[in-house]
Structure 1
Amino acid sequence: MKKNYFKSKLFLKYIWSYLFILLIPLVLLTIFIYENAVSSLRSEIEQSRLNQLTQAMVIVDGRIKELNEIASRISYDTRLTPYRVHDPIYSGEAIQGLDQYKSTSSIIGELLLYFHKDEKIYSSKGLYDFDVFATSFSFESWPADKLYQDLNAVKYPTMRPADTVIKSSNIADSMLAYLIPITPNSPTPHGTVMYLIRESELTSLIDSILGNYQGLTYILDNEGHILVDNRQGEAMTSTAAKSLINLEPGIHEQTINGKAHSVVSVKSQKNGWTYVTAMPSAQFFSSVLHVRSFIILLFCIVVLVGAAIALVLARMQYQPISTLVEFAASKRKENRPRSDVADRGNELDRIRSALQEYSSRIDLQEPFARNHLLSMLLKYGNVHPELQQAFGLRFDRSNHFVAVIGSGDNGGSPTERQERVKMLNQIAFPELQAVGYGVELPQLDQLGIIFSFDLDGDEADVFNRVREIVEAMRSGLLAVTDDIPMIGVGTSYESPDQLNQSFIEACSAYELRSSAEPGAITYFEKLSDAPQHADWIPNNTLMKLAQSLKQGSYDVAVPIIGLAFQNLQTTQASALLTRCICFDLLNTMLKTASELGIHSVALDMAPAAIYGNSLDEIERTLLNLASRICNQVEQNNRKEEHSLMDRIAAYIDERYTDYSISLESVAFAFNVSPSHVSRSFKEKIGTNFIQYIWQKRLNVVIQQLKTTSDPLKDIILRVGYQDTPNFTRKFKKETGYTPGQYRKLFSENEQARRMSEFEDE
């Protein structure tokens, strides 16, 4: 029985658990002694170094910020426009201006201004032909043609690592080059400001803060290139230097040049640079080495005693637990034979894994199912009470409206979009008695928010309450992101079944807004609703009609057309004016159809609408035209959806071996929302996104198990799966065998088949 205990992984886990429980007070006591005897000095010095390095980072960041501000002022300085600097009369004034800007920062070795495709470059000392400048300032690792290319192509501020510069006087100096495109933040810069900074300016600044120490200091850019290399008493190989690139901010221990070092790293949040110092541990650790040896010996004794006690307690507790394990094994739903010893004694792990797997599937699919429900609500305006409760949605308040939010930057990165969606998933404003639910729209750069609120006062205050809710939402967004949102807001309705109307209005408001200056909020109610004549159809109604056709929402288009003709029948307008009003509706529909590329439908239906004899006949014709446009939009969307899913499937087929592939990354690559990809992929392919990738990887692993003798870990890594134990569990669940068993079984079957063929011959 004793032997069986140690074959059980569950029993071994209990030993470790009790060992951990018993060792907690002893380990804490050991750590306390160690910290007081050994680590206090180390911690104090390292923390001081961290604070000093942080201070150095802040000061360097401040200097770089000064350079950015100077470049910004240069870009708006009328003395330094291309016209002025090329004018012989004003060029002297421009050079004087550059000299003034140079004097404002102590770290600038030279300040140069270059306009794209120009053969000259301007400095604080005078005007250079570009060839003369390249000769006067010869960079060891930056040839003249590459320098010319970088000056013309740089799109964002770029700091080049320290490089040896040989000036015309044959004086060599180590300098950094900082390139800033002007005008800053413009997608189409017209020139570049280049600062030449002596490396010694930065190293002396850092040394003045860090004080006297033996070690190394590096400044690395966000791509891991060494910008500044400052050595105090020792050097480092290139391989050892590269090992510092990916360190997380904080304090680390690392072996460098065969010696233990204390490495302190901080990272700037402004420009992504990493500041690293590496000090030999012997500087502060040699005096307490004998204490550390005593602590290690004491700790080993404590572990041995604790292990003996844990073994006794684990044996006492394993017997009742083994009964539970046998019961769990008898209730397994898998009807596969247990072919390895590992299965015995690991049942609880597999039960827990199964529960976690199903729970993770539910957690993964729930957001997409919830988003699909809200998308259907925006499209059709139907509310399902049962599903509301399942997803925690409530639309039992008195008023409802929809807002469409655009990021203005194509959605940002997948991480930024995910954070924005998570923030707006469900928001509440108790002081306004309002709650909002976020909806991912198919467009990657747009999100919809469905708001539901109660109104205590007069119904005339509805718009004011809507405005307060939208302003509160916008303030929340601006508090957590630098992106200025573009917002279109639909009309508030009393019934949630009319949310599709509000969504169309919000889209109309957003579409009008998208061509104007970013940052403002556009309310559909505030769009021009005054026709040129009392009998004409309001402009916002025509915009809403056009947007409903673009969305393929026939249910929204029908009441708009019906209400227009109802008003025509009740007014006393002349026959000519009535016909013109009908033409206004027809023109709106034909223009929308043309924008959508639906020309044949418009050509077929337009004559009947133009030559109709009665209002009823014209109304039926326009309704028929709206129906055909909406149906064509739906067909086009389905075709485009099928084509998109085919392209996504092909994209996955090419990249499924990439371990970083995910729903978010694929959605970002095709400029659509993750929820839209998840829903449409399942509908088109017949399986969900994750299962599709898993099946592709599983098929390749099975094939390689049959045809190669490569180690399982290598095969799994080749197909993009990094967690070998998890893959093994999933493989067994799919096939009934572990990968090793499967390979062995296939090999035996193949040998038996060959033997049978040999006997037949």
Structure 2
Amino acid sequence: MGWNRFKSKLLVRYILSYLLIFLIPLITVTVIIYYNAIHSLQFEVEQSSINQLDQAKQNIDSRMKELEQIAIQISLDNTLTPYMTNHPYYGKEAIESLNKYVVNSGIIDEVFLYFHNQDVLYSSRGKMAVEVMLDYTYKFPEWDKDSFIYDMSNLKVSSLRPTESIVMKRTRENRVFAYLEPLPVGQSTKYATLMFVIEENTLKSMMESILSNFKGNSYIFDHDGNVLAKASHGQEISPENEKLLSNIELGITKLHFDNVEQSIVSVQSDYNGWNYVTALPSEQFFSRIVQVKAIIILIFAVTTVIGSIFAVLLARKQYYPIKDLLEFAKVNKTTSKEQSRQRYGHTELDQIRETLLSYQTQVDVQEPYARNQYLFTILKHGVPDRVEVQSMLEQFGIYLYDRQLFVILTAWEYKASSEHSIYQWEELSNYLTELGLPEGEATVYGVELTSINKLALIIGMKKREEPKEQVEFIVEHLYALIETRFNMLPTMGVGGIYERPEQLNQSYIEAVSALETRMVNGQGSITYFSSLSQEQEEDYWITKDMLIKLGQSLKQGNAVVAVDTIEAIFADLYGKDISIPLLRCMCYDVLNIILKTASELKLVDAIQQISTASEFDTLEQLEVKLCSLSIYICSQVEDQEETEMQSLTDEVVAYINENFCNYGLSLEGLAEKYRVSVSYLSRTIKENTGVTFSQQMWNLRMEEVKRQLLSSNDPLKDIINRVGYMDVPNFIRKFKKELGYTPGQYRKMYS
């Protein structure tokens, strides 16, 4: 019941999380799209109004420009001079010319030609007196004969008379405006004036032909703010508000007229300064997006339903791997009531987290072993890939690049009779795992070797032009530190100095070679590999240190160092100017070192191959043969080491299986018995059994207790003591934690 509740609780959390992850962005995006759509449509309507209004402006401007062209043509027309218009015969042609201009224009209702200081007018309908025109044809309410003659005779520039209502031919009323142009155009001296009469409906029709779908009010204002034409589709705007529109800023503006928001669009003519204005109630815009709104809401609803279904399915799909991971971590197995109470309120993720923390603890425990193994591999075999090595070393917190490097191999005689030797060794190796030397500006990285009485130290120090004194200072400082702090008298072999971690295997072989001189120098000595070659019989002979290094690299099974050493020896031989017999003798020295090493290693096959290698005609032939032979010897050494180590591991595991009931059996005791380091022994046991030494001991004792519980009626305490576990209550607690019930309950259930 509790498990199902945990499961449903986590699953509900997943479903709610996925729904929120899905719905929050969906709602946000929908709101953004909705408002963007509204503003986009509003902008589209307003921009469309601007474009249409601009098109109407251009159309009307072009018509007004035609009036200017007509005025120019009339001023140049010979039939429309004062003489021709007053001539009895040619006066008729003048009237026809005026009629032609009216017919060819699309906006002129009538054109009048007035010569200064006369009482008559000429139009397309003929010659008429001024008072007849003002009284019958176009009766302007604010224009009598005297003012008309004065205005027409004194006009110097083009002028516009605002739109006003007039009575035409005494029968109908109409709204027109008069456009006055003095003649001739472009000259200072004027002799006549043209008056173009234009009906408001003409401009209104031109605007409506373009603003066909416009639902609002549109206006044309002259440069003085007077209304020339207006068209209304809907509620009209009051004269006071029209006055505001005449002074409105160009572009798009929002105003409130009678508590109604209006979208105002205004453009201005560059030709005559007229303002073209449209006023659209903003609420009309929202009526156009009802369909868009409905579509958006429908899409949102459908998406929400489908997305929610997918969110639930995805949540369930994501939950199953967690369940599988929980089963893999073995925290979903049947538990006791006590464990269930402890886990109450925890979800599967909490249980997995606890398991991962446990794994992390195990990784932290194993990291020192991995670090030591990696450094040991570098010392033995070098490194193939600098980038990979640098990354791995930095993960372990080891920094060897851009430093001068060398290796110290330290050892002391192991005394089996000393009870504290193994613990002193462990304390020393832990202390030297990583040690900073501020006085020498160097860092020491300790590497445990297979042997219990040897420790390799990788030294990284700041680069110096003359590092010899610095190396001696570091070596003596470490020697004194080990002697005073741990009460040990170490023997040290010091390898050469190198610039790159890839060359540490060279320094290691040199340190091993230097340490072997303790047979001569005695325990507690310090031997530098560089000092091994100081005593030479002749300057031209192969240096002693190179021969020692070659033999030691073969013993260690390090083919890389062995080949590098042979190549260095022969590179030196190629440059020597000596006799052939002496050169052969020097070559036999190299052969003797290889023969001696193969003999010590008991490699019969390698010894037989040396006789073939001794037959050579050139140094190049011998170098190739010796390199090939060295590689073969090193491979045999590695095979022997692997065989010996596997044999040792099998022996240790077998010993544990036979003696796990011994209360005194410990990892330290096994290391002392088989003369290997504790870390190496722990690592090999883990690699071969899959568990640590302590876990292996627990598993063996646990199985033995279970077997005796089912096969005998002996008291539980006696059984637990027989398997080497003296703390009975602690064993019972661990037994119950692992199986979920006590040993007594186990006996009752399965006996």
TM-score after normalising by structure 1: 0.51
The aligned residue for residue 432 of structure 2 is: 424
- Map 1:408-423 onto structure 2 (within 5 A): 408-410=413-415, 413-423=421-431
The aligned residue for residue 460 of structure 2 is: 452
Q: Say whether residues 1:663 and 2:667 are aligned partners.
A: yes
Which residue among 669, 683, 699 is the counterpart of 1:679?
A: 683
Q: Say whether residues 1:746 and 2:750 are aligned partners.
A: yes
- Map 1:210-609 onto structure 2 (within 5 A): 334-341=331-338, 343-345=340-342, 358=359, 360-382=361-383, 384-410=389-415, 413-455=421-463, 457=464, 459=465, 461-603=466-608, 605-609=609-613
How much identity, in percent, do the aligned residues show? 40
Change (3 A) 1:348 1:597: farther
Q: Does structure 1 conserve the Cα–Cα contact (< 8 Å) formed by 2:494 and 2:510?
A: yes
CA distance, structure 2, for counterparts of residue 414 and residue 354 of structure 1? 34
Change (3 A) 1:701 1:515: farther
* C-alpha displacement of 1:375: 0.8
* C-alpha displacement of 1:585: 0.3
- Map 1:609-648 onto structure 2 (within 5 A): 609-648=613-652
Q: Does structure 2 conserve the Cα–Cα contact (< 8 Å) formed by 1:397 and 1:453?
A: no
* C-alpha displacement of 1:700: 0.6
Change (3 A) 1:362 1:724: farther
* C-alpha displacement of 1:452: 0.5
Total equivalences in the alignment? 415
CA distance, structure 1, for counterparts of residue 737 and residue 622 of structure 2? 64
Equivalent residue letter for 2:650: D
The aligned residue for residue 83 of structure 2 is: none
CA distance, structure 1, for counterparts of residue 628 and residue 721 of structure 2? 58
* C-alpha displacement of 1:589: 0.7
Greater displacement, 713-722 / 539-548? 713-722
Q: Deviations over 1:184-240 (max 9, x none)?
A: xxxxxxxxxxxxxxxxxxxxxxxxxxxxxxxxxxxxxxxxxxxxxxxxxxxxxxxxx
Q: Does structure 2 conserve the Cα–Cα contact (< 8 Å) formed by 1:602 and 1:625?
A: no
The aligned residue for residue 130 of structure 1 is: none
* C-alpha displacement of 1:435: 0.4
- Map 1:105-120 onto structure 2 (within 5 A): none
Change (3 A) 1:541 1:331: closer
Q: Say whether residues 1:703 and 2:707 are aligned partners.
A: yes
Equivalent residue letter for 2:455: L
Equivalent residue letter for 1:340: K
Greater displacement, 662-671 / 565-574? 565-574
Change (3 A) 1:332 1:360: closer
CA distance, structure 2, for counterparts of residue 348 and residue 406 of structure 1? 56
SS in 1 for 2:455: strand
Q: Does structure 2 conserve the Cα–Cα contact (< 8 Å) formed by 1:408 and 1:484?
A: no
Q: Does structure 2 conserve the Cα–Cα contact (< 8 Å) formed by 1:397 and 1:452?
A: no
Equivalent residue letter for 1:660: G
Equivalent residue letter for 1:379: K
Equivalent residue letter for 1:334: V
SS in 2 for 1:431: coil
The aligned residue for residue 62 of structure 2 is: none
Q: Indicate the RMSD between aligned Cα atoms, in angstroms.
A: 2.9
Q: Does structure 2 conserve the Cα–Cα contact (< 8 Å) formed by 1:548 and 1:554?
A: yes
Change (3 A) 1:576 1:659: same
Q: Deviations over 1:91-135 (max 9, x none)?
A: xxxxxxxxxxxxxxxxxxxxxxxxxxxxxxxxxxxxxxxxxxxxx
CA distance, structure 1, for counterparts of residue 656 and residue 606 of structure 2? 37
Equivalent residue letter for 2:487: D
* C-alpha displacement of 1:429: 0.6
Q: Does structure 2 conserve the Cα–Cα contact (< 8 Å) formed by 1:701 and 1:715?
A: yes
Unaligned runs of 5+ in 2: 1-325
Change (3 A) 1:635 1:745: same
* C-alpha displacement of 1:536: 1.9
Equivalent residue letter for 1:582: C
* C-alpha displacement of 1:531: 3.6
Equivalent residue letter for 1:692: Q
Change (3 A) 1:355 1:587: same
Q: Does structure 2 conserve the Cα–Cα contact (< 8 Å) formed by 1:400 and 1:492?
A: yes
Q: Does structure 2 conserve the Cα–Cα contact (< 8 Å) formed by 1:336 and 1:736?
A: no
Q: Deviations over 1:12-64 (max 9, x none)?
A: xxxxxxxxxxxxxxxxxxxxxxxxxxxxxxxxxxxxxxxxxxxxxxxxxxxxx
CA distance, structure 1, for counterparts of residue 344 and residue 488 of structure 2? 51
SS in 2 for 1:611: coil
Change (3 A) 1:666 1:330: closer
The aligned residue for residue 206 of structure 2 is: none
Q: Does structure 2 conserve the Cα–Cα contact (< 8 Å) formed by 1:484 and 1:518?
A: yes
CA distance, structure 2, for counterparts of residue 410 and residue 624 of structure 1? 41
Q: Does structure 2 conserve the Cα–Cα contact (< 8 Å) formed by 1:408 and 1:483?
A: no
Q: Does structure 1 conserve the Cα–Cα contact (< 8 Å) formed by 2:403 and 2:460?
A: yes
* C-alpha displacement of 1:489: 0.5
- Map 1:130-149 onto structure 2 (within 5 A): none
Larger Rg: 2
Q: Does structure 2 conserve the Cα–Cα contact (< 8 Å) formed by 1:529 and 1:541?
A: no
CA distance, structure 1, for counterparts of residue 744 and residue 717 of structure 2? 11
The aligned residue for residue 755 of structure 1 is: none
* C-alpha displacement of 1:724: 4.5
The aligned residue for residue 75 of structure 2 is: none
SS in 1 for 2:332: coil
CA distance, structure 2, for counterparts of residue 707 and residue 642 of structure 1? 35
Q: Does structure 2 conserve the Cα–Cα contact (< 8 Å) formed by 1:608 and 1:618?
A: no
Q: Deviations over 1:505-540 (max 9, x none)?
A: 001000112442322211111122454233321001
SS in 2 for 1:572: coil
Equivalent residue letter for 2:332: N
Equivalent residue letter for 1:570: G
SS in 1 for 2:333: coil
Which residue among 672, 689, 693 is the counterpart of 1:689?
A: 693
Greater displacement, 331-340 / 636-645? 331-340
* C-alpha displacement of 1:418: 1.3
The aligned residue for residue 224 of structure 1 is: none
* C-alpha displacement of 1:733: 5.9
Q: Does structure 2 conserve the Cα–Cα contact (< 8 Å) formed by 1:399 and 1:453?
A: yes
* C-alpha displacement of 1:738: 4.1
Unaligned runs of 5+ in 1: 1-328, 748-761
CA distance, structure 2, for counterparts of residue 731 and residue 553 of structure 1? 48
Q: Does structure 2 conserve the Cα–Cα contact (< 8 Å) formed by 1:486 and 1:514?
A: no
CA distance, structure 2, for counterparts of residue 708 and residue 454 of structure 1? 69
* C-alpha displacement of 1:543: 0.4
